[in-house]
Amino acid sequence: MTVDELLAETRHTLADTEAPATEARLLLAAALDRDRAWLYAHGGDPVPDAAAQQARTWARRRAAGEPLAYLLGTREFWSLPLTVGPGVLVPRPDTETLVEAALECIPEGEVRSVADLGTGSGAIALALARERPRATITATDRSPRALERARDNARRLGLAQRIRFLQGDWFGALGKTRFHVLVSNPPYVARGDPHLAALRHEPAEALIAGEDGLTDLRILAAGAPAHLLPGGWLLVEHGADQGAAVRALLEGAGFTAVSSLRDLGGRERVCRGRLPL
């Protein structure tokens, strides 16, 4: 079977995924250990049996709903190549909105202390460390598996010396330390949300937050003032329909300058508020 023939077969297998043609090329390129450009120039080349079998296996797993990032083992976030895998939430492009908002609260060239709560793969902490080299970054997660993944990403990207990794649930690992900025992409999906079926391969504890999706956001809003310096910022990602509820949580916790930011799709995605001076 040639490259082009196997691509056609793989696209058919992936017909119900978001981008069958793109995903077929990504899977076949990975199975052949080539880049996608090579596929265009070698469409008539035969595919070794082992590579063809690997591509078919991956395609079946992807068609069954397994995240593409788990199959490939990598996901790009903020132009950083991150390793990902089962047990760790796959970084989403929408979360780059959270990074952009946090950078606005961390003046370039100034020393600031930042904590990323529930770091997962380390995506947010690593992006902030890359963009703000004078900031001191702490990344926490209750999952040892996630923390190890985040540490591995930091080592590969040469940022391991810039980030302190601590195990603990939300503020549990911080002790009495206060920060200039707290940032988090917490679970925010309601327990009965129908979208969970499509996310069944990712860790439920990183997705589900009680009956209304706000359980962890409530914890973050209520606990943040005790871990922020005067004038410090709390920034959280949330669901597209939760903006008003999260603004109310931050205002109720005493934050000022509370506002929402929209993602690339125009949906409210991030809420931030400032602790009074």
Residues 86 and 34 in one domain: no
Residue numbers of the domain that contains 60: 3-64
* 151-to-59, 95, 171, 218 alpha-carbon distances in Å: 30, 19, 19, 28
- Predicted local confidence at residue 2, as pLDDT: 94
**Burial of 230 (C-beta count, 10 Å sphere; 0-12/13-18/19+):** exposed
Which CATH number does the domain housing residue 217 bear? Answer: 3.40.50.150
The three-state secondary structure class of 1 is coil
Contact (Cβ atoms closer than 8 angstroms) between residue 183 and residue 235: yes
Q: Enumerate the H helices of 132-199 as residue ranges.
A: 144-156
**DSSP code for 26:** H
Domain annotation covers residue 208:
yes
For residue 139, the cross-strand partners are 116, 165
| Same-domain status, 150 and 228 | yes
Residues 6+ apart with CB under 8 A from 68: 23, 26, 27, 62
40 & 133 share domain: no
Q: Is residue 29 part of a domain?
A: yes
Asked if 227 and 165 sit in the same domain, the reply is: yes
pLDDT tens, N- to C-terminus, the chain (277 residues) = 899 999 999 999 999 988 999 999 999 999 999 988 999 999 999 999 999 999 999 999 999 999 999 999 999 999 999 999 888 899 999 999 999 999 999 999 889 999 999 999 999 999 999 999 999 999 999 999 999 999 999 999 999 999 999 999 999 999 999 999 999 999 999 898 888 888 888 888 888 999 999 999 999 999 999 999 999 999 999 999 999 999 999 999 999 999 999 998 999 999 999 999 8
Q: Is residue 69 part of a domain?
A: no
74/61 Cα distance (integer angstroms): 16
What integer pLDDT is reported at residue 196 of this predicted model?
86
Q: How many domains does the chain have?
A: 2
pTM of this prediction exceeds 0.95: no
pLDDT of residue 72: 93
Report how far residue 126's alpha carbon sits from residue 9's, in angstroms, rounded to the nearest whole number.
38
The verdict on 215 and 269 lying in the same domain is: yes
CATH number at residue 10: 1.10.8.10
Q: Is 191 exposed, middle or buried (0-12, 13-18, 19+ CB in 10 A)?
A: middle
Tokens of 21: 């043609």
Residues 153 and 226 in one domain: yes
Q: Would you give the end-to-end CA distance of the chain in angstroms?
A: 68
What does the block give as tokens for 42?
A: 């070698």
**Do 151 and 209 sit in the same domain of this protein?**
yes
Q: Indicate if 41 and 129 belong to the same structural domain.
A: no
